[in-house]
Amino acid sequence: MVISMDKEQMNTLGAIHIAGRAVSVIAAIAAAQVEGVVMLHSNLADSVAAMLGKGASAKGISTSINGDIAEIRVSLVVRYGSRIPDIALRVQEAVKENVEAMTGYNVRAVNIVIQSIDFNQAGGIAETKR
Protein backbone atom coordinates (compact mmCIF):
# COMPACT_ATOMS: atom_id res chain seq x y z
CA MET A 1 0.00 0.00 0.00
CA VAL A 2 2.71 2.40 0.93
CA ILE A 3 5.32 2.77 -1.74
CA SER A 4 8.60 2.79 0.00
CA MET A 5 11.92 1.14 -0.64
CA ASP A 6 12.59 0.85 3.03
CA LYS A 7 11.18 -1.69 5.34
CA GLU A 8 7.74 -1.08 6.68
CA GLN A 9 5.85 -3.35 8.96
CA MET A 10 2.20 -2.94 9.69
CA ASN A 11 0.70 -3.91 12.99
CA THR A 12 -2.61 -3.06 14.58
CA LEU A 13 -1.32 0.33 15.59
CA GLY A 14 0.20 1.42 12.33
CA ALA A 15 3.38 1.14 10.36
CA ILE A 16 6.94 0.94 11.60
CA HIS A 17 9.67 2.11 9.35
CA ILE A 18 13.43 2.14 9.83
CA ALA A 19 15.34 4.44 7.51
CA GLY A 20 18.54 3.54 5.70
CA ARG A 21 20.34 6.30 7.53
CA ALA A 22 19.60 4.59 10.85
CA VAL A 23 20.95 1.32 9.46
CA SER A 24 24.12 3.10 8.35
CA VAL A 25 24.76 4.51 11.79
CA ILE A 26 24.28 1.13 13.42
CA ALA A 27 26.70 -0.39 10.93
CA ALA A 28 29.23 2.38 11.56
CA ILE A 29 29.14 1.90 15.31
CA ALA A 30 29.47 -1.86 14.99
CA ALA A 31 32.38 -1.61 12.55
CA ALA A 32 34.24 0.97 14.60
CA GLN A 33 34.25 -1.29 17.62
CA VAL A 34 36.12 -4.07 15.83
CA GLU A 35 39.73 -4.50 16.94
CA GLY A 36 42.15 -3.29 14.28
CA VAL A 37 39.75 -0.80 12.74
CA VAL A 38 41.22 2.65 13.17
CA MET A 39 38.39 4.57 11.65
CA LEU A 40 35.79 4.53 8.99
CA HIS A 41 36.73 6.46 5.92
CA SER A 42 39.49 9.04 5.81
CA ASN A 43 37.09 11.93 6.12
CA LEU A 44 36.33 11.06 9.66
CA ALA A 45 39.47 12.69 11.00
CA ASP A 46 38.83 11.82 14.58
CA SER A 47 39.43 8.30 15.64
CA VAL A 48 36.90 5.85 16.93
CA ALA A 49 36.45 8.03 19.98
CA ALA A 50 34.73 10.59 17.79
CA MET A 51 32.01 8.09 17.25
CA LEU A 52 31.08 8.39 20.88
CA GLY A 53 30.15 12.02 20.55
CA LYS A 54 26.79 13.36 19.69
CA GLY A 55 25.39 12.63 16.29
CA ALA A 56 27.20 9.44 15.45
CA SER A 57 28.57 9.64 11.98
CA ALA A 58 27.74 7.21 9.26
CA LYS A 59 30.62 8.30 7.08
CA GLY A 60 32.22 5.51 5.15
CA ILE A 61 29.02 3.53 5.13
CA SER A 62 26.56 3.30 2.33
CA THR A 63 23.44 1.29 2.71
CA SER A 64 21.00 0.24 0.08
CA ILE A 65 17.70 -1.18 1.15
CA ASN A 66 15.22 -3.06 -0.92
CA GLY A 67 12.18 -4.30 0.90
CA ASP A 68 13.42 -6.61 3.59
CA ILE A 69 16.98 -6.80 2.42
CA ALA A 70 19.88 -4.51 3.20
CA GLU A 71 23.24 -4.30 1.52
CA ILE A 72 25.95 -2.40 3.31
CA ARG A 73 29.26 -1.11 2.06
CA VAL A 74 31.88 -0.22 4.65
CA SER A 75 35.05 1.76 3.95
CA LEU A 76 37.74 1.26 6.54
CA VAL A 77 41.12 2.43 7.67
CA VAL A 78 42.93 -0.40 9.43
CA ARG A 79 45.91 -0.46 11.74
CA TYR A 80 49.23 -1.45 10.20
CA GLY A 81 50.27 -4.92 11.22
CA SER A 82 46.88 -6.46 11.48
CA ARG A 83 45.73 -9.15 9.12
CA ILE A 84 43.29 -7.52 6.77
CA PRO A 85 41.18 -10.55 5.87
CA ASP A 86 40.59 -11.23 9.56
CA ILE A 87 39.52 -7.66 10.24
CA ALA A 88 37.27 -7.65 7.21
CA LEU A 89 35.59 -10.84 8.32
CA ARG A 90 35.07 -9.57 11.85
CA VAL A 91 33.61 -6.33 10.55
CA GLN A 92 31.25 -8.25 8.30
CA GLU A 93 30.09 -10.39 11.19
CA ALA A 94 29.71 -7.47 13.59
CA VAL A 95 27.80 -5.34 11.11
CA LYS A 96 25.48 -8.12 10.07
CA GLU A 97 24.78 -9.19 13.63
CA ASN A 98 24.12 -5.69 14.94
CA VAL A 99 22.00 -4.50 12.07
CA GLU A 100 19.87 -7.63 12.04
CA ALA A 101 19.38 -7.56 15.79
CA MET A 102 18.45 -3.89 15.93
CA THR A 103 16.42 -3.41 12.80
CA GLY A 104 15.13 -6.74 11.57
CA TYR A 105 16.47 -6.23 8.10
CA ASN A 106 18.07 -9.19 6.40
CA VAL A 107 21.64 -8.19 5.72
CA ARG A 108 22.44 -9.93 2.49
CA ALA A 109 25.85 -8.41 1.90
CA VAL A 110 28.45 -6.49 3.84
CA ASN A 111 31.07 -5.34 1.38
CA ILE A 112 34.33 -4.14 2.84
CA VAL A 113 36.68 -1.65 1.25
CA ILE A 114 40.03 -1.14 2.94
CA GLN A 115 40.60 2.50 2.17
CA SER A 116 43.89 3.03 3.89
CA ILE A 117 46.34 1.74 6.47
CA ASP A 118 47.28 3.68 9.54
CA PHE A 119 50.96 3.45 10.46
CA ASN A 120 50.86 5.63 13.54
CA GLN A 121 49.40 3.07 15.85
CA ALA A 122 51.25 0.05 14.50
CA GLY A 123 50.83 -2.00 17.63
CA GLY A 124 54.16 -3.51 18.55
CA ILE A 125 55.34 -3.98 15.00
CA ALA A 126 58.29 -1.89 13.93
CA GLU A 127 57.66 0.38 11.03
CA THR A 128 59.67 -0.43 7.97
CA LYS A 129 61.40 2.75 6.92
CA ARG A 130 64.01 3.06 4.26
Partner 1 sequence: MSDTEELKYEVSDSVLANVAKIAALDVPGIAGLSTTIVDSFVVGMSERLGKKRMRGVAVKNEKGLITIDIFLIAYYGDDLRILAGSVQHAVKEAIQSMMDTASIQVNVSIEDVILKDSGQ
Residues near partner 1 (CB under 8 A) are 2-6, 9, 11, 13-19, 21-22, 25-26, 29, 51-56, 101-104
- Closest distance to partner 1 from the beta carbon of 60 (Å): 15
- Closest distance to partner 1 from the beta carbon of 79 (Å): 20
Considering the complex, state which of residue 16 and residue 84 has its C-beta at the smaller distance from partner 1: 16
The number of beta carbons lying within 10 Å of the beta carbon of residue 59 is 17
User: Which one, of 76, 111, 68, 106, lies nearest residue 92 by Cα?
Assistant: 111
- Closest distance to partner 1 from the beta carbon of 33 (Å): 9
Considering the complex, state which of residue 45 and residue 126 has its C-beta at the smaller distance from partner 1: 45
Rounded Cα distance between 38 and 86, Å, is 14
- Closest distance to partner 1 from the beta carbon of 125 (Å): 28
Considering the complex, state which of residue 15 and residue 125 has its C-beta at the smaller distance from partner 1: 15
